[in-house]
Amino acid sequence: MLQRGYTYFLFLLLILAGCQNAQVAKQQALYQGNEHLLLGNPSGATTSESNAGNYLMLKPQYALSYSRDRGTPNWVSWHVSPDWLGTADRQDNFRPDPALPESWYHVTGSSYKGSGFDRGHNTPSADRTSSEEDNAATFLMTNMIPQAPENNQQTWANLEEYTRELVEQGMEVYVVMGSYGEGGTGSNGRATSIDNGNVTVPARIWKVLVVLPQGDNDLQRINTSTRVIAVDTPNNNTVNANWSNYRTTVDAIESATGYDLLSAVPKQVQQVIESRTDPGPVQ
């Protein structure tokens, strides 16, 4: 009798393990082949509503991990190539993201009003100009963080501009941007949250660019000589406008956030490109 119970128990464990594997496989299939997650899913985000701190959202224009409690993305990942750049006008239609689970707090276009922080895009408006629809997608509030105006309008704007310059020079770029920590200083002074505590103000804002000559089979072309630019900036109004002052390693961002960036790249290649601070040109 005891032995039969034991057999049933083992059998049950096997079924549970099978279900678990099927879940993981389903999640992986969901984002494998996704252009914006080609280099990996840094935090292992999933589309399960119970994963409120690390909720995966896939859009045609970008992919992100959302934190319900922070009211911001943890990170946003996207690809910049000539296909994404066109002549569409800036739509300026900041709005709640209808793709969020219904019961979650929805940050609105006016949630940041009077806070002293900008509605700072992760995927920039100017990176998505091939159609009005693509541009409008960047104005969903799930793509925003409360960003100190100087950081947004100077430091970050310059880095965004440089990214598109690289594309004009014949490159394509895989970008991941994220933020972490609590407390920044905007034009009304220091704050740890805004919008009645519904939106956390991050302390640090980082970005990683992987730069490749335009071509095919992008993941396979990443090797130990691939240019990787990593920056990590303070979310305040005294930040220097020159983003190159904040260059760091991917490894440093990984240890600050606990993520595994570029996880789809072979480990031996990650080891080399993640431990190097970019020495390249900055304009």
Out of 38, 63, 177, 261, which residue is the one contacting Mn ion (CB under 5 A)? 261
Q: Is residue 273 helix, strand or coil?
A: helix
Is 36 catalytic? The answer is: no
**Beta-carbon contacts of residue 85 (< 8 Å; ≥ 6 apart):** 127, 129, 130, 164, 167
| Size of site (CB under 5 A) for Mn ion | 7
DSSP 175-214: EEEEEESS-EEETTEEESEETTTTEEPPSEEEEEEEEEES
By CB under 5 A, tell whether 152 contacts Mn ion.
yes
Q: Which stretch binds Mn ion (CB under 5 A): 45-53, 211-219, 238-246, 252-260?
A: 252-260
Run of H or E residues at 255: helix 250-257
Nearer to Mn ion, 104 or 203 (CB): 203
**176, β-bridge pairs:** 77, 208
Joined together, the tokens standing for residue 68 give 């319900």
Residue 43 or 270 with smaller CB distance to Mn ion: 270
Radius of gyration in angstroms for the set of CA atoms belonging to the chain, rounded to a whole number? 20
Instruction: Name which position in 36, 68, 119, 121 contacts Mn ion (CB under 5 A).
Output: 121
Closest CB 122 distance from Mn ion, rounded Å? 8
Question: Between vectors from CA 248 to CA 264 and to CA 126, what angle results, nearest 5°?
Answer: 70
270 binds Mn ion (CB under 5 A): yes
Please report whether residue 43 would count as binding Mn ion according to CB under 5 A. no
Min. distance of Cβ 260 from Mn ion in angstroms?
4
- Minimal distance, residue 262 CB to Mn ion, in Å: 5
Q: Which residues are catalytic?
A: 121
Given the rule CB under 5 A, which residues bind Mn ion? Answer: 120-121, 152, 260-262, 270
